[in-house]
């Protein structure tokens, strides 16, 4: 179930990134990696969530059949959301070739529709469904191919930049996601504010965070959180956050996104 694993990881990564993004805004701004695409649960919602997920995502991509065409070597990476899949009629060793239509978001803020042609195990076809998120390499003319050759670092960086370009995280939040340290935290309180931002509910969340030396500090912030993340942030829930030791006014919440 290689494709299924890849998609699950990609979604996780993206979501994670989103999460981080949601976790990072101290004043209600969105802050990490889908995620998709950066730990394992991570797509580190900011990158995420910061790629524990990346390792698994990279492994899943590497497991796909075929190779990246020469023309796509070193091409930039974007995140593609599957909008349609159609068989081409060609099969290799009884495995169908399909055209995967994707809406691609790039790190520089561009969005376009492209089609990636890929050989997929017949048992995994159901996993390549509308809404799934997959990393792709793309060319200036809009051609795309699945980024099955990408390293963890490339995937994480691309996911982070895409999230920032879409306004889900700010440069400061990205800085925290990429340079902060991980810490354990407990959700003390969670309450809706009634505000909706970019399709996400803004909540008031109070956290008790444990530093590396065992001391703790409380932080109350407004975060724009995807609906699927709310169940994971209920009072009493233990979570992972990322923050800068020299500035404890903002944290990035790292959590897995449930599709």
- Among candidate residues 48, 54, 41, the one with its CA nearest the CA of residue 22: 48
- Give the orientation angle of helix 152-165 with respect to helix 2-24, to 10 degrees: 50
The pLDDT assigned to 142 comes to 92
pLDDT, mean of each 10-residue run, the chain (259 residues): 47 45 38 29 34 38 60 92 92 88 95 92 79 90 91 83 82 86 96 86 94 95 82 92 93 67
The pLDDT assigned to 1 comes to 42
The pLDDT assigned to 256 comes to 63
CATH architecture of 74-166: Beta Barrel (2.40)
Same fold, 74-166 and 171-253: yes
- Among candidate residues 79, 75, 76, 95, the one with its CA nearest the CA of residue 87: 95
The pLDDT assigned to 140 comes to 94
**Reported pTM:** 0.68
The pLDDT assigned to 35 comes to 31
Rounded CA-CA distance 162/145 in Å is 17
- Domain coordinates of the chain in residue numbers? 1-64, 74-166, 171-253
Task: Bin 23: left if φ > 0, else alpha if -120 < ψ < 50, else beta.
Answer: alpha
Whose tokens are 């979604």? That residue is 11
Whose tokens are 């070597």? That residue is 73
Q: What are the residues whose beta carbons fall under 8 Å from the beta carbon of 64, sequence distance 6 or more?
A: 2, 3, 6, 118, 120, 146, 148
Fold of 171-253: OB fold (Dihydrolipoamide Acetyltransferase, E2P) (2.40.50)
- Among candidate residues 228, 185, 187, 216, the one with its CA nearest the CA of residue 204: 187
The pLDDT assigned to 137 comes to 96
Residue 199 has φ and ψ, to the nearest 5°, of 80, 5
């Amino acid at each position: 179930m290689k494709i299924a694993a890849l998609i699950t990881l990609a979604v996780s990564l993206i979501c994670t990134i989103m999460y981080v993004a949601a976790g990072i805004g101290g004043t209600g701004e969105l802050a990490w990696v889908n995620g998709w695409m950066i730990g394992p649960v991570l797509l580190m919602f900011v990158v995420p969530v910061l790629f524990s997920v990346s390792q698994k995502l990279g492994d899943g991509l590497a497991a796909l059949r075929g190779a990246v065409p020469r023309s796509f070597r070193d091409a930039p990476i974007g995140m593609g959301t599957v909008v349609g899949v159609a068989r081409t009629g060609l099969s290799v060793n009884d495995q169908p070739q399909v055209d995967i239509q994707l809406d691609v978001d790039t790190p520089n803020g561009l969005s376009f529709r492209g089609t990636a042609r890929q050989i997929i195990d017949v048992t995994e076809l159901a996993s390549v469904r509308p809404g799934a998120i997959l990393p792709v390499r793309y060319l200036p003319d809009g051609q795309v191919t699945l980024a099955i050759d990408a390293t963890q670092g490339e995937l994480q960086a691309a996911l982070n930049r895409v999230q920032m370009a879409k306004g889900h995280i700010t440069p400061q939040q990205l800085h925290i996601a990429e340079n902060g340290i991980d810490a354990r935290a407990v959700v003390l309180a969670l309450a809706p504010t009634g505000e909706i931002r970019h399709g996400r509910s803004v909540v008031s969340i109070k956290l008790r965070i444990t530093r590396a030396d065992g001391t703790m500090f409380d932080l109350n912030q407004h975060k724009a959180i995807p609906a699927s993340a709310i169940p994971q942030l209920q009072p009493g829930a233990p979570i992972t956050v990322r923050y800068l030791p020299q500035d404890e006014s903002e944290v990035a919440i790292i959590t897995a996104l449930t599709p």
